[in-house]
Copies of this chain bind each other. A is one copy, B any other.
């Protein structure tokens, strides 16, 4: 049985939810496989996605309230997250409707062409070269592993679900253990709305439990998988996906320390703003974001360090999502505390409850950091930061380049200073090789759901660095191209027939 707990008290909330049995899992996947031909050809997928969004919106307050008992993320955040979730569903509906600006890109669609997300390409016959037409086709039934820290936007009805459904792939979601009741209620709404919209039975399924998740990932009928979660869990699942008799793509979005570089000019010209921004990003959602600014590289500037200490000192912690996550946070903080060369810079106000986390910021010199890079650059999931003090950008760059892959890299620069801009150019040259997104004069938390987004990054931030899990390009994960050679129009896929 899977039991949810109230992070504010550590007490059980809601009824325990049974783990999915092997027989039930097999039946759910078989239903998804059976639904594939009909769902991939379903002519009203956009309407179905919008029906799901409408149904979730209609119960947003209730959903947020249930999720708050299981996550303690607060009503405001959770109501906003439901809106983000339904916004994602509608964004993919717009993509299917081929609405202008949703695909994005510097290319525009002429009349008589297929929607951009299908990546249709026609090379007409010429001499001995045959007529070739290529288009994206849905890959097959998909497995989605929900995240702990976004009970809606990266969970049962989240971005993976929206993009897979939009692509024409039935899917089976493995619920996160941290919010079983939220997952069940969401799934009921999603399944009901899809059925009302005429989607074939089996298009959407939900399973509970670690064993069910493993069996799902190994199931021969599953063609691809999406995952948002910890680095350890994600890498273990990626290995399972790779070791199947028929390996499948495993799109894992894992942990990340998201290095932020403050250049000397920026540190000198606006220490207070940087310190406040940093403390806010670090402690947002009790630091439980994969885009949390875990590493902050600052010049030897006493004013900035003082400002950071003040800002962090004024910050507040909160209850973490689960007892396990809280225990992990305590271990990570202890490791930093006990590390020679690392000292504490500041601490915020403790969070309440048995799993209440305290914001903690440590400091270390670049030299000490580089000497134990693997340990000190580890993710500390929660509101813990490490400030690394560098003597010069020249010294910093090779250390930065030595970091493992990240979702986000950030540079703070005084754009009015030619010297700082020159250093920024050098820092960006490195950051763009170790991160999937580079932010200038901002903070890594906050991931806009737009066409140009890339929420990805080099291993181990993601297991498939060419793909994003946020934004319209996320649909690409659920496609494979197929080329048709010398086909009579009547046998071509519908979208290719229309291409001139």
Contacts and interface: CB of A to CB of B under 8 A. Distances in A.
Interface of A: 37, 104-110, 113-114, 116, 119-123, 129-130, 132-134, 137, 139-140, 242, 246-249, 404-405, 413, 415, 421, 424-425, 428-429, 432-433, 435-442, 446, 448, 450-454, 456, 458-460, 463, 465-466, 468, 473, 476, 479-488, 490-491, 499
Nearest to A470: B483
Most B-side CB within 10 Å, residue of A105, A404, A425, A499: A105
Given A37-B429, A484-B440, A249 B466 contact: yes
A413 B479 CA distance: 28
Give the number of copies in the complex.
2
A346 B488 CA distance: 32
A137 B432 contact: yes
Contacts of A248: 459
A450 B429 CA distance: 33
A498 to B, nearest CB: 9
Contacts of A110: 106-108
Nearest to A104: B121
B480 A450 contact: no
Given A132-B448, A440-B484, 14 more contacts: A104-B121, A106-B120, A123-B451, A129-B448, A134-B452, A137-B432, A242-B242, A249-B465, A249-B466, A413-B491, A421-B488, A435-B482, A438-B485, A466-B479
Most B-side CB within 10 Å, residue of A421, A440, A483: A483
Given A121-B451, A481-B468, A491 B132 contact: no
Nearest to A446: B130
A452 B482 contact: no
Contact of A438 (B139, B451, B483): B483
